[in-house]
Amino acid sequence: MRWLFVSSVLLFAVPVLAQENEAEKLFRGFEKKLAGATAYKVNFDVEMTIFGKQEIKGELLVAKGNKLRIFAEMNAVGKMVKVHQASNGKQIQKQTSQAGKTETNNATDTHDKLTEYVAGFIGKAGLILTLENAVSPRPDRSPDKIKLSGFKLLGKEKIGGTETQGIEFAVEFPDDKAPGVGKLWIDPKTQLPLKRSFEKDAGGQVFRIVETYSNWQFDPPLKGDEFALPK
């Protein structure tokens, strides 16, 4: 009887482990593509909810050598804000336009792990949390300190005509009291996500981000002036 019990437990565990392995395999495939690229580019649409709704859309371009360019438009509580941020590999600068007024911050030194941090944060936590944590880094919140666990497969979903496979996992930052829930919908053929969500309890309020990605390009041709600082 004991052997029958053990056998039944093992038979139940095998499909669960297989599911975890497949889900993590999909995630790691995307992570490797980011880490191995000389450059990549993506368009994004974001809906963020906490104490109100914010919508953000734009384009991100990243290249080795700590080069980065972001164009974004944000609608926060009915106010439109445009942002242009760029790093030429040595300095990084941000320009913000709102209600006809444009402000350009002073350029500061680009940190020497910008490209690595951006890829790490996009893979593990998404684009919005990347902009918060990778561009202005904190040693205690480097991407290698984010813990992911509990990978599992979700259902399949068509996004923009492409059939994607959903995966879910727990996302835990070093100072989190409880992990958040991350979900990715990945095109298995390209290993690229078309949609992501992140959700966690923030002191009784649900913090939720939904990001949709389009026009992924890896190693696109670059003219050389893409990373000029805003003027």
pLDDT of 51 reads 66
Residue 1 in domain = no
Closest CA to 219 of 43, 60, 36: 36
Residue 102 in domain = yes
Q: What are phi and psi of 167, to 5 degrees?
A: -135, 155
Checking if the pLDDT of 214 tops 90, the result is yes
Task: Yes or no: say if 122 and 34 are a contact pair by the CB < 8 Å rule.
Answer: yes
DSSP state string for 47-86: EEESSSEEEEEEEEEEETTTEEEEEEEEEETTEEEEEEEE
Q: Which domain holds residue 95?
A: 19-218
Report the alpha-carbon distance of residue 118 to residue 68 in Å, rounded. Answer: 9
- Please report which confidence band the pLDDT of residue 20 belongs to, taking 50, 70 and 90 as the band edges: low
Mean pLDDT of 44-55: 84
Residue tagged 């880094």 (tokens) = 137
Mean model confidence pLDDT for the chain: 86
- Please report which confidence band the pLDDT of residue 3 belongs to, taking 50, 70 and 90 as the band edges: very low
Report the alpha-carbon distance of residue 181 to residue 177 in Å, rounded. Answer: 13
Give the predicted TM-score (pTM) of the model: 0.86
Residue 112: which CATH number? 2.50.20.20
**Percentage of the chain with pLDDT > 70?**
90
Residue 230 in domain = no
Residue 225 in domain = no
pLDDT for 75-112, tens place per residue?
876 788 999 999 999 999 999 998 889 999 899 999 88
Residue 3 in domain = no
Residue 114 in domain = yes
Residue 10 in domain = no
Per the structure, how many domains does the chain have?
A: 1
Residue 173 in domain = yes
**Percentage of the chain with pLDDT > 90?**
55
Task: Indicate left, alpha or beta for 27 from its phi (over 0: left) and psi (-120 to 50: alpha).
Answer: alpha
